[in-house]
Structure 1
């Protein structure tokens, strides 16, 4: 019996070194393309998530702050000159008469004042309620929105009946300048109705 080593049927040869190198290069190019696609997709998803969070935060603060300003009352005050507490800016809403049934206070308590506190160091906006003449939670601030670059309550052209709110989010790397800035006007319902004269002609 004869054993042949290294000989095989005709046409059954292995790959040459050049063929292996070419196939490795093609595989690496395909792998790099897949990695680039995944990286772009991941970055896009991350940015969309941040934009979604920003939209949710904007919607929340617009709804909450609008309701708070509208409920101030005809004799109430919306300060547009902030008090300064360290690096924090405090905008006061003073209710006159006191606001009934507010979720900021406990059962049976009335809301006398509400401080909106902007902390530029943390990029947060929070609230600090005063219920029945006592600052709630020992003066602790409840953060309602994060990721804020600037927050202001300023005089509007209708300062006696409305407040102008300016709000800026921290900019995203690929975002044009100013794309994260918003402003809106909130009217004090009772003050507006007090300005309207009803004629009975």
Structure 2
């Protein structure tokens, strides 16, 4: 297996950016802003089920978590579950659902099977990074407790105007609201 000369530098860049502390969302925005084709646009034959539009957080996160970029072969990352469409009526048949196996169930080759795009040390360091790093001396008392009043998703902690703030990952912020934050505006 050889590295694709077009996409390999992008994957290496993504892992290097994450290693410096950039979030997966920030990496996705940078890739979209510079018009770098997402995986389904770069290889539509391999990704016929995708739109080929833009980089998504899911795509970036999947690349950052893929141990194959260390040069090792990986098996058993996914499984296919067969679920009945209607348990009360088995004649309707079943559907196949692909699900991720937990990393402890993956089988990783002992030796490199192809050239690595990232060192194992850098890959492991990226896996250990938290999505929202807390700067030394900064305390976010409501971290993990607040949810967006518009979309219902958990809000991220951030530092704004020399004080803790909370923002929705989807563009809404609490910085303008000095009262107790119950929703994002």
Both structures adopt the same fold (TM-score exceeding 0.5):
no
Greater gyration radius: 1
Q: Which has the higher helix share?
A: 1
Q: Which has the higher strand share?
A: 1
TM, length-normalised to structure 2: 0.24
TM, length-normalised to structure 1: 0.23
Higher RCO, Cα 8 Å, sep 6+: 2
